[in-house]
Structure 1
Amino acid sequence: VLLLAILLAAGWLLVLGVGLWVLVKELLTTRVPPTITHPVKFRILHYIFQLILTWGNLLEKLKICSMPHFFRFIQDKVIVKKNPGVSVKDLHFGTIPVRLFQPKAASCSPRRGIVFYHGGGAVFGSLDCYHNLCSFLARETDSVVLSVGYRKLPDHHYPVIPQDCLNASIHFLEALQTYGVDPCRVVACGDSIGAGAGALVVQALLDRQDLPQFCAQVLIYPILQGVNYQLPSYQQNPNAPFLSRDFLMNCACKYLAIDLSWKDAMLKGACIHPDAWKKYGKWLSSDNIPQRFRSQGLKSEILGPFNEAAYLETRHVFEAKISPLLADDKVIAQLPKTFLLSLDRDVLRDDTLLYKKRLEDQGVPVTWCHMEDGFHGCIILFDKKYFFFPCSQSVANAVVSYIKGI
Structure 2
Amino acid sequence: MAVKAALVFVAAAVLLAYYCDQPVPEGIAEPRMYAKAQGMVFRISANLARIGEYLGVGTEPQNLRSVMEAIVKVGLMLKGSSYREGLKVTDTMFDGVKVRVYEPVSAAQSSSKVPGLVYFHGGGWVILNVDTHDPLTAHVAKQLGTVVVSVDYRLAPEHVFPAAFDDSVAATKFFLQNAEKYNVDRTRIGISGDSAGGNLAAAVTLVLAKEKGLPKLKTQALINPILQAINFETPSYIAHGHLNTLTKDKIVSFWLWYLNNDLSFKKVFEANNHTGVQIKKSQYAGYVDPKMVDVTTVKKENIKFPEIPNIATILDPRFAPLMADDADLKGLPPTYVMTCEYDVLRDDGVMYARRLEKARVEVNHDHYEHGFHAFLNSFDDYELAGIAMQNYLAYLKKIL
TM-score of Structure 1 vs Structure 2, range by shorter chain: 0.7 to 0.9
- Please tell me the root mean square deviation across aligned C-alpha atoms, in Å: 2.3
Which moves more between the two structures, 232-241 or 18-27?
18-27
1:342 aligns with 2:334: no
Q: How far 1:281 sits from its partner (Å)?
A: 2.4
Equivalences for residues 152-171 of structure 1 within 5 A: 152-171=155-174
1:35 aligns with 2:27: yes
CA, structure 1 residues 272+342, in 2 after alignment: closer, same or farther (shift >3 Å)? same
Q: Which runs of 5+ in 2 are unaligned?
A: 293-302
Structure-2 residue corresponding to 1:294: none
Write out per-residue CA displacement over residues 224-245 of structure 1, whole angstroms, 9 at most, x where no aligned residue: 1111111111111111222111
CA contact (8 A) 2:88 2:105 kept: yes
CA contact (8 A) 2:16 2:44 kept: yes
Structure-1 residue corresponding to 2:327: 330
Q: How far 1:265 sits from its partner (Å)?
A: 2.4
Write out per-residue CA displacement over residues 312-368 of structure 1, whole angstroms, 9 at most, x where no aligned residue: 762320112211111122210021110000000111000111111110111001000
Q: Aligned to 1:124, what secondary structure does the other structure show?
A: coil
Number of residues of Structure 1 aligned to a counterpart in Structure 2: 377
Which moves more between the two structures, 69-78 or 276-285?
69-78
Percentage identity across paired residues of the two chains: 27
Between the aligned partners of 1:307 and 1:333, the Cα distance in structure 2 is 29
Larger Cα-atom Rg: 1
Q: 1:285 aligns with which of 274, 283, 289?
A: 289
Q: Aligned to 2:189, what secondary structure does the other structure show?
A: strand
Which moves more between the two structures, 34-43 or 168-177?
34-43
CA, structure 1 residues 170+393, in 2 after alignment: closer, same or farther (shift >3 Å)? same
TM-score (norm 2): 0.88
CA contact (8 A) 2:334 2:363 kept: yes
Q: How far 1:15 sits from its partner (Å)?
A: 4.3
CA, structure 1 residues 399+97, in 2 after alignment: closer, same or farther (shift >3 Å)? same
1:224 aligns with 2:224: no
Between the aligned partners of 2:309 and 2:352, the Cα distance in structure 1 is 26
TM-score (norm 1): 0.86
CA, structure 1 residues 333+314, in 2 after alignment: closer, same or farther (shift >3 Å)? same
Write out per-residue CA displacement over residues 225-281 of structure 1, whole angstroms, 9 at most, x where no aligned residue: 111111111111111222111111111111111532322322333222333332312
Structure-1 residue corresponding to 2:153: 150
CA, structure 1 residues 177+41, in 2 after alignment: closer, same or farther (shift >3 Å)? closer
Q: How far 1:125 sits from its partner (Å)?
A: 1.8
Structure-2 residue corresponding to 1:397: 390
Structure-1 residue corresponding to 2:296: none
Deviation >6 Å, runs of 4+ = none
Q: Which runs of 5+ in 1 are unaligned?
A: 289-305
CA contact (8 A) 1:270 1:310 kept: no
1:52 aligns with 2:45: yes
CA contact (8 A) 1:114 1:189 kept: yes
Between the aligned partners of 1:54 and 1:309, the Cα distance in structure 2 is 30
Between the aligned partners of 1:264 and 1:58, the Cα distance in structure 2 is 20
Q: Aligned to 1:101, what secondary structure does the other structure show?
A: strand
